[in-house]
Structure 1
Amino acid sequence: MSEDPVLQRAILGLRMSAPFFAGLLLFADLQPRVGLGTAATDGSKIYYDPAYLATLTVKQTQGLLMHEVLHCALQHVPRRKHRNHELWNFAADIVVNGMIAPLEAYDLPLGAIRRPAIEHFSVEEVYAILERECIVIPPILVMDLAGGDGCPVPLNGSDISTAAGENEAYWQHAIRSAQIMAETSERGRGSIPAQFDREMRIADAPQIDWKTSLWRFLVRTPCDFGGFDRRFIHSGLYIDDMAGESLKVHIAIDTSASVSNQELSQFLAEVQSIVGAYPHIDCDLYYADADLHGPYKLGRSSDMPPPKGGGGTSFKPFFHAISDAASSHEEGLCIYLTDGYGDFPAKAPDCPVMWVLVPGGANDEHFPFGEVLRMI
């Protein structure tokens, strides 16, 4: 434990009232840094300015420690990857403050960022939502994640991927230990934030583009190359012609009122990209709200038909239509691009289903069947 008396009082109080956070802080390396102005982390160590802590109450100090140790445990520094540092820091602060705020025994320092409408999502989703909204970063934002301009502490080590590899196992062990402490205390799991498990699943899961996941289905299709594709010879291009079985793909685009125009445009662009990239897809496109519009045959050179919809959301018409198609020996793969909010059929289809969600879409457990992937 740090020798700073302010931190000692704060951490001892957490051991009595919030054993989960107290357990995480047992693994935290707390480093004083005079002149820092506030607190920050490089994903490994937590730095604090003793003069700043002296201005806080014990409850505010506890809130600040909880904030920084959540950044560490949830790997918010290495998870940023290519994203804008300032916007990522804003998104990560929204998520961790949303975890702490419901714990009424503690106070966040003055000026803490809150966005209650989106703070239950993962940091990647919050970032995408903020980016889509063209959000203006408030001037009160304190940059407390290392790895970019504006944060007063440098990234620990020259290679962020190396830092991530060294810290990941350490903090996973810290989380397991803290969970045991919480579960064996009188307060049970009450000190573990409700959103923590969801954020942990996102942190642990590899971030794979959904079209990469689609490739798993495409490579199962037997195919070969036979001569040249004559459609391109007139352009002087001698491209191998892929011969063999095609993969039947049924794609539904959610055109209900809950899907914004920007999200709909993104859906259309995603569909165009997969049809153009994979020539052996036999694609039927549907637009779906409470009703079903289609199917529209799509090929490499097809224009996208104008979207239809704007009403409520039901997934039932699409899957009923696919069941009818399967009875005609056209079963294949179903892809549904949506926000995930709607009525599901009582029975899952016989073919594989991929749900492709916009950032901020429904939780994974909301879906009774299929694989849930996100456009993050």
Structure 2
Amino acid sequence: MALTAEQKILAARTSLMWDHPFFGSLAVQLVLVEENSYPTMATDGTHLFWNRKFVDGLKKPELVFVLAHEVMHNALDHHVRKGRREHEKWNKACDYAINGELSACGLKMPKCGLIDAQYTGRGAEEIYSLLPDEPKGGGSGGKDDPGGCGAVLPAAAAHEAEKLAKASADMKVKVRQAAAIAAKASGGIGNLPGSMQRLIEKLLAPVVDWRAVLRRFIDDSQTRDYTWMKPNRRHIGSGFILPGLMTDGLNHLVVGVDSSGSTFDPEVLQRFASEISGAFGDGSIDKVTVIYADTAVARVDEFERGDEIFFNITGGGGTAFSDTFRWIAKNVPDASAIIYFTDLYVSDFGEQPAAPLMWAVYGDSRTFKDLSSRTPFGNAISLAS
């Protein structure tokens, strides 16, 4: 006698509890809702919406994979990180981030699933920036599942920051609990299969927001106080007059841009430039000098308070930092801090500059740990997400 869809889901969840208790303990906390307007399954972190025809068409190992897939969407906070990104492209990026990891854990993916070794181990935001844009129009109001293994839905609207933060915090608690259950079932986290252990450790690792790190680095490079003599320009347009920032002397930020032949994502450069511009507009920086260099300094742009910052890559060829740091030492002795936008594929770092240095690293996030460990001075942040 064939099992009903409800019975198949129950059997798959039970199988996860026995064979993969980390996924199973998260799966049983989702509220099951039959919703046949969705083509496969979908989750918003709280519910698991499922389509009867889709469940009926899956074999048990495939259904086990799909349940674990939906659980991973939530564990990785995909339901709170979408922002204003396009639904189908975001779902594809999230699927690529998940499916390689699940396959490594021994789960059997349905043939329609998305998997590509070049994306496995990368974050969804990084993968999203690498994928081509989806065609305009079409879709089904955010209900499509281009990966065929279950979609992820936002826990709240993009502007509802408080609800999204709560959903993320709640999920982090559940992930820690699930990790403890998995460890206990295996006699300790160290006794878990290698792929599962690495996956859980990745999920438990704190997420670093590079924007916050960058801002803190800029803030720490200066001594400031508030003054009514220099109002904050950002709020004047809204009718609010708030005090601006007064620094002890000129706060001069130097931005190095690696303009070698290395491939970089213009979108990442734009996000980086936006953060620098934001700090400039806030009054946190009085002057910005942007240096474009490959093996030698190719161009220098200077921006004073009130100017609009723009980045325009000039250069090509190899990579070396020594000429940049010599140029800074000779021409910008008042530099308060230096931020270098680079992929870190270089052997010539040059001499350590006098000012504090931050490497802002773009490129494949999977290589960041190794590349950043080779830097002889300065601190590094990854711009991958």
Flag whether TM exceeds 0.5 (same fold).
yes
Distance 1:211 1:67, change over 3 A: same
Q: Distance in 2 between matches of 1:41 and 1:287?
A: 45
What is the DSSP-based 3-state SS (H/G/I as helix, E as strand, rest coil) of the residue aligned with 1:192? helix
Q: Distance in 1 between matches of 2:247 and 2:156?
A: 52
Shift of 1:373: 5.3
Shift of 1:90: 2.0
Q: Which amino acid aligns with 2:250?
A: S
> Hey, what does 2:240 align to over in structure 1?
none
Q: Distance in 1 between matches of 2:197 and 2:175?
A: 13
Shift of 1:183: 3.2
Distance 1:287 1:200, change over 3 A: farther
Shift of 1:337: 1.3
Shift of 1:106: 1.7
> Hey, what does 1:220 align to over in structure 2?
223
1:337 to 337, 341, 363: 341
> Hey, what does 1:56 align to over in structure 2?
58
Q: Which amino acid aligns with 1:285?
A: V
Distance 1:250 1:41, change over 3 A: same
Q: Which amino acid aligns with 1:250?
A: V
Whether 1:114 aligns to 2:134 is no
Shift of 1:100: 1.4
1:188 to 182, 192, 199: 192
Q: How does 1:294-373 map to 2 (within 5 A)?
A: 296=300, 298-300=302-304, 307-315=313-321, 317-319=323-325, 324=329, 330-343=334-347, 345=349, 351-358=355-362, 360-361=364-365, 362-363=367-368, 366-368=371-373, 369-372=378-381
Ranges in structure 2 where 5+ consecutive residues have no aligned partner: 232-243
Alignment check: 8 A CA contact 1:221 1:247 kept: no
> Hey, what does 2:260 align to over in structure 1?
256
Q: Which amino acid aligns with 2:173?
A: H
Shift of 1:25: 2.4
Shift of 1:192: 2.5
> Hey, what does 1:175 align to over in structure 2?
175
Alignment check: 8 A CA contact 2:36 2:52 kept: yes
Q: Deviation per CA, 1:282-333, whole angstroms, max 9, x where unpaired?
A: 44432233x13167361336998975532233445545665x569x954520
Whether 1:88 aligns to 2:97 is no
> Hey, what does 2:238 align to over in structure 1?
none
Shift of 1:245: 1.0
1:144 to 148, 151, 158: 151
Q: Which moved more, 1:113-122 or 1:183-192?
A: 183-192
Q: Distance in 1 between matches of 2:166 and 2:52?
A: 28
Q: Distance in 1 between matches of 2:102 and 2:67?
A: 10
Alignment check: 8 A CA contact 2:251 2:287 kept: yes
Q: Deviation per CA, 1:256-289, whole angstroms, max 9, x where unpaired?
A: 2123484697489659946974595344432233
> Hey, what does 1:10 align to over in structure 2?
12
Q: Which amino acid aligns with 2:152?
A: L
Q: Please give the root-mean-square deviation of Cα atoms over the aligned residues, in Å.
A: 4.5
Alignment check: 8 A CA contact 1:94 1:113 kept: yes
Distance 1:366 1:348, change over 3 A: farther
Alignment check: 8 A CA contact 1:46 1:69 kept: no
Distance 1:218 1:16, change over 3 A: same
1:27 to 16, 21, 29: 29
Shift of 1:69: 0.5
1:287 to 289, 292, 309: 292
Q: Distance in 1 between matches of 2:253 and 2:309?
A: 17
Shift of 1:81: 2.0
Shift of 1:189: 5.0
Q: Deviation per CA, 1:126-180, whole angstroms, max 9, x where unpaired?
A: 22233xx435599971572235xxxxxxx67998545434433332122112222
Alignment check: 8 A CA contact 1:246 1:281 kept: yes
Q: How does 1:235-254 map to 2 (within 5 A)?
A: 245-254=249-258
Distance 1:208 1:250, change over 3 A: closer
Distance 1:221 1:364, change over 3 A: farther
Ranges in structure 1 where 5+ consecutive residues have no aligned partner: 148-154, 229-239
What is the DSSP-based 3-state SS (H/G/I as helix, E as strand, rest coil) of the residue aligned with 2:341? strand
Alignment check: 8 A CA contact 2:145 2:151 kept: no
Whether 1:125 aligns to 2:126 is yes
Q: Distance in 2 between matches of 1:182 and 1:241?
A: 51
Q: Distance in 2 between matches of 1:19 and 1:319?
A: 53
Q: Which amino acid aligns with 1:363?
A: F
Shift of 1:16: 4.1
TM-score between the two structures when normalised by the length of structure 1 = 0.72
Shift of 1:68: 0.3
